[in-house]
Amino acid sequence: MQLFEIIDAVEKIAPIAAQASWDCSGLQVAARRSEAVRLGVCLDPSPASVAAALDKGAECIVSHHPLLLKPRLPRRLDGYHEVLRLLLTADVPLYACHTSLDVNSAGPAAWVADELGLTGRTVIEPTAPPPDGAALPLGFGLAGDLPAPQAPADILRRLGKWIDLTTATLCGPSPAGVRRIGYCTGSGSSLLDDARRCGVEFFITGDVKYHSALDAEICTADVGHHSLEEEMMRRMCALLQHALPHMEVFFVPSQSPLRPLTA
Binding-site annotation, residues for a divalent metal cation = 64-65, 102, 225, 229
Report the alpha-carbon distance of residue 227 to residue 43 in Å, rounded. 10
H or E element: which one contains 115? helix 111-116
Report the alpha-carbon distance of residue 12 to residue 107 in Å, rounded. 10
Q: Which of 183, 218, 181 is nearest to 204 (CA)?
A: 183
Question: Angle at which helices 3-13 and 225-243 pack, to 10 degrees?
Answer: 120
Q: Which of 246, 248, 223, 249 is nearest to 235 (CA)?
A: 249
Q: How far is CA 150 from CA 123, 181, 228, in A?
A: 22, 10, 20
Strand-pairing partners, residue 139, are 126
